[in-house]
Amino acid sequence: MFKRITDDLGQLKGAHARNAALENAAIIARDLGLRRTKSLSREELLDLIDASDTVGITVDDLRSFRVADLIMEAAAEDGEICYVAVEISYTANGRDTKRAIRNAEFMTRFTGKRSFAVVSGLYRDDRIQESIESGELCWHQLTPEQLEAE
């Protein structure tokens, strides 16, 4: 019973963090020096997959990609269109990091455009620090205030 309550609480915290990050999508883009033009819908991701060469990509990776937490189209100051792949968790970890990087790579492969990988959460596992420091991944920290109930 205790494990079930703990698991349920984890799901609630994750969903709450996801909602907060989605509400702040424009801020995530701005932190990268970009202006969000739109968030891609599930249908747009499916259409992108259908129109792309997916040879060598596993079915599981495509299934995971099409339910990405957030894929944004954004514009750089010079008007260049690029994409931002965001994975969101209450506590961001290596799994989130791998998905964000993979999703950004897929967006570059499918569109030919520059893409950025971002993880967003209230906390992060220290083991993702190397990916952040290398520039392979960007970190967007949610604040406790963003997670407060209204």
Q: Residue 60, Cβ neighbours under 10 Å: how many?
A: 8
DSSP run (H or E) holding 105: helix 94-111
Indicate the domain borders of the chain.
2-147
Each residue's pLDDT tens digit, 78-126: 999 999 999 999 999 999 999 999 999 999 999 999 999 999 999 999 9
Quick check: 16 pLDDT over 70? no
- Residues in Cβ contact with 59 at an 8 Å cutoff, skipping those fewer than 6 apart: none
Pair type for strands 70-75 and 35-39:
antiparallel
Q: Which CATH class is domain 2-147?
A: alpha beta
Q: Please tell me the least confidently modeled range out of 9-13, 98-102, 142-146.
A: 9-13
